[in-house]
Structure 1
Amino acid sequence: MSREPYRARWAGTDYEASADLVDGRLHLRLYGSAPADGFEKVAPGRFVRAVPAADCSAVWHVTTVCEWHGAPFLVHTAREAELLIEYTGGDALHAAGLGLERIERGVYRIWVKREEVSALSEKLVKIVSR
């Protein structure tokens, strides 16, 4: 499961990435797990380098999805052995029946143990390709 909402291909390698505007231009912070030229250590096993988005040959938006009790969910975030999942089934009565917390109209979430979910997978949508 990706920690960041984007993935970018830069200099022939794919990285987890996050986006930022710098002087009105889109830049991506690329995250690696090992030291590399131009990458700065920000935490143990976590290295970052900012590059202009225009220098990336591809950029994808990443979402993680799963099923819980047979219903479809988006993984919102994770902590230790738990996932915060958000119901995507569009049925408020079913969401209530599952015991989900209503965050706002049409948005239902719950913290669950990671081992309780099935069909955990990433969905990538390419947003830049050169």
Structure 2
Amino acid sequence: MSIRHGFYAGWRGSEYEASPDGDLVRLYVAQQATGFRQIAPDRYVQVVPLSDVDHLQYVTTHCMWRGEPFVVLGEHEGWLRVEYSGGKAPVAERLGLESFDRGVYQAWASGHEVEDLHEETV
């Protein structure tokens, strides 16, 4: 399963990473495609009217790790960057999580240790 975290839009039968901007939506791909222009290495964009998009949704990936709920922010070489979503500082401390910001705790978790990896869509 690929880890998705952010906006995604359906357009002309495909799904793209997306960024809404009022009545427009920026669609992103990792390689050259017709109508897309390069904005960075391995990053191409095309701006389309929101009315042309089949769907626009916010997708997050969630899991359970060490018996607690987490949001998965990314993946690197079999490790998942997870953010504790239980909101209890004593639990975060017991798990040895890094304090990323006030009330926000993160860690790197082995992909083999997580359970119930699933997406939620808003």
TM range (shorter): 0.7 to 0.9
Runs of at least 5 residues in structure 1 that lack an aligned partner in the other structure: 126-130
Q: 1:9 is matched with which residue? A: 10
Q: 2:73 is matched with which residue? A: 76
Distance verdict in 2 for CA 1:94–1:120, change over 3 Å? same
Distance between the aligned counterparts of 1:116 and 1:48, measured in 2? 36
Q: Is the 8 A contact 1:32 1:48 kept in 2?
A: no
Q: Is the 8 A contact 1:3 1:16 kept in 2?
A: no
Q: 2:112 is matched with which residue? A: 115
Distance verdict in 2 for CA 1:47–1:15, change over 3 Å? farther
Alignment equivalent of 1:94, drawn from 91, 96, 109: 91
SS, match of residue 116 in structure 1: coil
Identical pairs, percent: 37
5 Å-filtered alignment, 1:28-43, equals 28-31=26-29, 37-39=34-36, 43=42
Deviations 1:15-58 (A, max 9, x none): 1322164xx7532214378x764356864xx8754322221021
Taking structure 2 as the reference length, the TM-score comes to 0.79
Task: Output the aligned Cα RMSD.
Answer: 2.5
Alignment equivalent of 1:27, drawn from 4, 25, 28: 25
Distance verdict in 2 for CA 1:49–1:3, change over 3 Å? farther
Distance between the aligned counterparts of 1:64 and 1:85, measured in 2? 10
